[in-house]
Amino acid sequence: MTVASELTFFPSTDGDIAYLDTGSGDLVVLLHAGYVDHRLFEAQIPALAAGHRVVAVDIRGHGWTANATEPFRWADDLACLLRHLDAGPAVLAGVSMGGAVAGDTAMEYPELVRGIVLSGASVSDFQYTHEVTRRVVEESQRTLHSGDIDGWLKVFLGSAAGPFRSAEDLDPRILDHLREMALHTLAKHTPGERNWHVPMTDTWARVSKIDVPVLTVNGTLDSPDLLADAERFANTARNGRSVLVEGTAHFPNLEKPEEFNAILLDFLREL
């Protein structure tokens, strides 16, 4: 388990951004899903750090990074950190929300990015259209805003299994790992607090301008609309391709870490 003493803290204009920094070589930045933190990549960090410098970030409001007290954008936060590291351009690899952060940054700050990997993600203004998944998202928002943490956790862990399975289909160790991270992040917040994040809009119009290599990695059991949009992202970018990981849903890096690592390392070797 990571402790604060193992992290580095970058003093942004709105509080510290925490990140784990290990390995040496070309820079790879790992960006986690919503409600969790950099520990999502515990199975990826050692494999990548054997040949790369790996920075696993806690996105604002998550993990050990400060909450926002003023409007912010994901891409701006990450660009400030990348410039501070002065080790780029970087490959950005993100899961779910982290994939959206990677895509936004490639659009806004192309000079800082040399490749992006999106897992369980497409554009940052993606909207679920699959009926089952939309119900899950609505229930997640309802329980979170009402302060029903037990109810929210049930929905959150169920969503990790995708729309065609239940949480009981996942390894209990994965559920415990997600639960621990989510509770740590939720403890930083209060129900109904202001969301200072400023989302990007009309992102699909900008995907075709991304000219760095793009890889989308998705579990075959994830939401069908997300799979379709990830494929669309890969096909719309100038140099994109997609890969599917059989028998996994929203977190292929947790369900099949060795396969996920091999896919990611192959992508890095091709750059």
Q: What is the mean pLDDT of each run of 10 residues along the chain (271 residues)?
A: 78 97 97 98 98 98 98 98 94 98 98 98 90 88 90 94 95 98 96 93 96 98 96 97 98 98 98 95
N-terminal to C-terminal alpha carbon distance within the chain: 32
- Correct CATH for 4-128+194-270 of 3.30.2010.30, 3.40.50.1820, 3.40.190.80, 3.30.360.10: 3.40.50.1820
pLDDT at res. 177: 98
pLDDT at res. 1: 54
pLDDT at res. 241: 97
What's the whole-model pTM score? 0.97
The candidate with the shortest Cα–Cα distance to 162, out of 197, 136, 191, 193, is 136
75 neighbors 198 (Cβ within 8 angstroms) = no
Look-up: residue for tokens 């969503």? 159
pLDDT at res. 127: 85
DSSP for 150-213, written as a single string:
HHHHHHHHHHHT-TTS-GGGS-HHHHHHHHHHHHHHHTT--TT----B-----THHHHTT--S-
**Alpha carbon distance 218, 234 (integer Å):** 12
| Cis bond before residue 11 (omega within 30° of 0) | no
**Alpha carbon distance 157, 179 (integer Å):** 7
pLDDT at res. 256: 98
The encoded tokens of residue 48 equal: 């990548």
pLDDT at res. 51: 97
pLDDT at res. 133: 86
E-assigned strand segments in 214-261: 214-219, 240-245
- What are the sequence ranges of the domains in the chain? 4-128+194-270
pLDDT at res. 117: 98
Question: Residue 138 CB: number of other CB atoms within 10 A?
Answer: 12
**Alpha carbon distance 78, 83 (integer Å):** 9
pLDDT at res. 145: 87
